[in-house]
């Protein structure tokens, strides 16, 4: 490394930003990289205007436009500043530090943390890639994050606790491991490259974004979690496989979610949406939960199997459900408090349930023409007195499809309970008439207390085992 190079490269670091443009020009000339004179005049760079005229924008665009990638490589190689780019951790506190970093490095080998940053704009300028994480956290002053040239973040792009942020403009960013955008309550604009192809985990929570449709080229995701975005009305993603979790909850109640290409997901939670479309979904490896949605129709015509629990809970308008191809549910089946579902007859192909059954609500009829085996128990609670419990508690032929030990069925004021052995042989059964509606209520409450709406795993657990214990208590009470 020539010492003249070192001086040329280090000088800008020690100088005020006002002279930076001039020094950049000098460094470039020194290395013989390019000759065209800069149009930017240092004196007119008004730092006070950065929130409207983004910091360093004109300067950087000019600069990065002229340095071709080949030139940039030569420039970096020949400069001692490359050492800066290799640093593992960069803690950036001012716009100046950031400006210097992007000027010296096309690629930052380590992680960038932006802390205590008081300027309104975070501008990544010419920076093209960050090998580690890029963390921007707890900065109440920042209104805009931009980087025309940022193409890749090797680790996580984390934006958290930016209470004045309105816009993220990273139009070339198409490669990142994870995007975590949380607690940016005024964020209304998020621009990434249209061709995001290498994204694994995306969490967007507590923003003011109205739509997300940036995931058109990601076929595989590990995680997609969209929650508490109060104004979000559209979410569309062309993802084909979700390896860990797909979770949509507590956004605008107008939200329409569209997953036209999704084939399988490890588990799926859809909550508080107005419409949900999964036309190609064929399997869910763990649980599938539809909770408190406002749709009147839900169709997954190609869904064949659910590896865990299938839950359809508190969808008050739902009246058309199509699970027409589901033949096996390996966990429990819970259909609870969907006040417009009069007939639980939308699983015509279902043959086997690996866990328990829990139906609660005002349904009048259940129909499972092909169901031959329920490995868990069965708890059915209908407020409708026309519901006929007998086909569950006293099956014709004396053998029940329920193998989990207990069957309890309430219809209006009458409750029937039965015990069965592991082969489904009926051991005993009992019938109780309630005197007051209060007692029915008591039972309903007990039943529902098994379900912790906020804890889905507890809910799944309760379907498999929890309610059995509760039922024993219940029986003991009477
Ligand atoms: C995605 O777009 C960026 C610029 O927006 C481009 O550099 C990159 O090559 C594109 N990648 C793919 C896979 O198309
Ligand atoms: C999703 O599936 C994983 C198993 O891969 C499990 O650990 C996790 O608890 C599931 N999440 C929900 C909400 O069911
Ligand atoms: C989920 O199920 C699909 C289809 O059965 C399978 O191909 C995939 O490997 C499973 N994924 C996980 C994470 O188990
Ligand atoms: C069930 O899925 C198969 C493909 O796996 C499809 O041909 C058939 O039409 C589906 N049935 C229904 C009722 O949608
Ligand atoms: C179901 O409805 C009953 C009666 O309105 C209520 O007490 C219970 O909390 C509800 N349970 C669930 C899981 O929504």
Q: Is the pLDDT of residue 280 over 50?
A: yes
Tell me what the mean pLDDT of segment 148-160 comes to: 97
Q: How far is the CA of 400 from the centre of ligand 4 (A)?
A: 29
Which atom of ligand 3 is the closest one to the Cα of 266?
13
User: 302 CB less than 6 Å from ligand 4?
Assistant: yes
Residue 255 sits at the vertex; the CA angle it makes with 249 and 259, to the nearest 5 degrees, is 85
Written as six digits, the tokens of 412 are: 């209006």
| pLDDT score of 146 more than 50 | yes
CA distance 221 to 177: 10
**In this structure, which residue's CA is closest to atom 10 in ligand 1?**
195
pLDDT greater than 60 at residue 478? no
What SS3 class is residue 266? coil
Could you tell me which residues come within 8 angstroms of residue 462 by beta carbon, excluding any fewer than 6 positions away?
Answer: 358, 450, 451, 452
> Measured between alpha carbons, how far is 375 from 392 in angstroms, rounded to an integer?
14
Residue 416's nearest CA partner among 402, 431, 436, 399 is: 431
For residues 73-92, give the mean pLDDT: 70
CA of 151, nearest ligand number = 1
Ligand with minimal distance to 279 CA:
4
pLDDT at 347 exceeding the cut of 50 = yes
- Provide the pLDDT confidence category of residue 201 given band limits of 50, 70 and 90: very high
Pocket of ligand 1 (CB under 6 A): 151, 172, 174, 193, 195, 197
Cα 268 to Cα 156, 227, 244, 287, distances in angstroms: 23, 13, 9, 6
* Maximum Cα–Cα distance across the chain: 97
The pLDDT tens digits of the residues spanning 100-142 come to 999 999 999 999 999 889 899 999 999 999 999 999 999 999 9
Structure confidence by residue, pLDDT tens digits, 8-31: 333 333 333 333 333 333 333 333
Q: What are phi and psi of 406, to 5 degrees?
A: -130, 145
Ligand with smallest separation from the Cα of 223: 2
- 26 versus 199: the higher-pLDDT residue is 199
| Nearest CA owner, ligand 4 atom 8 | 302
Say what the pLDDT of residue 211 is: 94
Question: Does the pLDDT value for residue 37 go beyond 50?
Answer: no
Query: Checking phi first, is residue 304 left (phi over 0); if not, alpha (psi -120 to 50) or beta?
Result: alpha
Q: SS3 of 44, please?
A: helix
Taking the C-alpha atoms of residue 452 and residue 460, their distance in angstroms, rounded to an integer, is 10
- By mean pLDDT, which of 261-265, 319-323, 387-391, 434-438 is the weakest? 434-438
Determine contact, residues 24/12, Cβ cutoff 8 Å. yes
Question: Does ligand 2 come within 6 angstroms of the Cβ of 225?
Answer: no
Ligand 2 contact, 269 CB (< 6 A): yes
Calculate Rg over the CA atoms of the chain: 30
Beta-carbon count within 10 A of 177 CB = 16
Select from 152, 176, 195, 214 the residue to mutate for testing ligand 1; criterion: most ligand atoms less than 8 Å from CB. 195
């Amino acid at each position: 490394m020539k010492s003249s190079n070192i001086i040329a490269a280090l000088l800008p670091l020690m100088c005020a930003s006002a002279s930076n443009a001039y020094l950049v020009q000098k460094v470039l000339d020194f290395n013989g990289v390019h000759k065209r004179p800069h149009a930017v005049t240092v004196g007119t760079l008004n730092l006070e205007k950065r929130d409207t005229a983004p910091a360093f924008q004109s300067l950087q665009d000019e600069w990065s436009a002229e340095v071709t990638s080949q030139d940039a490589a030569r420039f970096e190689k020949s400069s001692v500043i490359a050492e800066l780019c290799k640093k593992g951790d960069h803690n950036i506190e001012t716009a100046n530090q950031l400006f210097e970093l992007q000027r010296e490095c096309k690629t930052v080998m380590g992680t960038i943390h932006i802390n205590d940053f008081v300027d309104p704009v975070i501008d990544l300028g010419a920076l093209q890639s960050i090998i580690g994480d890029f963390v921007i956290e707890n900065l109440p002053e920042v209104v805009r994050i931009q980087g025309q040239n940022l193409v890749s973040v090797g680790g996580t792009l984390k934006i958290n606790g930016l209470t004045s942020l309105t816009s993220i403009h990273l139009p070339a960013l198409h490669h990142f491991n994870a995007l975590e955008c949380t607690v940016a309550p005024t964020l209304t604009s998020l621009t990434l490259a249209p061709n995001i192809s290498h994204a694994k985990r995306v969490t967007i929570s507590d923003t003011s974004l109205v739509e997300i449709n940036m995931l058109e080229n990601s076929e595989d995701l590990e995680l997609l979690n969209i929650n508490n975005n109060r104004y979000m009305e559209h979410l569309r993603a062309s993802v084909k496989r979700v390896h860990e979790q797909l979770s949509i909850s507590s956004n605008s109640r107008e939200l329409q979610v569209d997953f036209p290409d999704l084939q399988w997901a490890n588990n799926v939670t859809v909550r508080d949406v107005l419409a949900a479309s999964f036309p190609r979904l064929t399997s869910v490896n763990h649980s599938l939960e539809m909770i408190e949605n406002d749709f009147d129709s839900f169709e997954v015509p190609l869904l064949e199997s659910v590896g865990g629990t299938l839950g359809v809970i508190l969808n008050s308008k739902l009246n058309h459900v199509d699970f027409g191809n589901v033949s096996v549910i390996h966990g429990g089946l819970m259909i609870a408090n969907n006040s417009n579902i009069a007939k639980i007859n939308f699983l015509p192909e279902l043959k086997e349930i690996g866990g328990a059954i829990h139906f609660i609500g005002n349904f009048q009829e259940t129909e499972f023409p092909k169901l031959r085996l329920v490995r868990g128990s069965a708890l059915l609670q209908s407020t409708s007195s026309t519901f006929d419990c007998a086909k569950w508690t006293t099956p014709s032929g004396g053998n029940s499809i329920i193998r989990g030990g207990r069957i309890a069925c309430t219809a209006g004021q009458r409750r029937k309970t039965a015990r069965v052995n592991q082969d489904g042989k009926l051991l005993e059964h009992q019938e109780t008439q309630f005197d007051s509606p209060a007692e029915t209520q008591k039972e309903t409450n007990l039943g529902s207390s098994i379900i912790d709406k906020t804890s889905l795993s507890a809910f799944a657990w309760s379907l498999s085992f929890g309610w059995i214990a509760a039922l024993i208590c219940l029986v003991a009470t009477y």
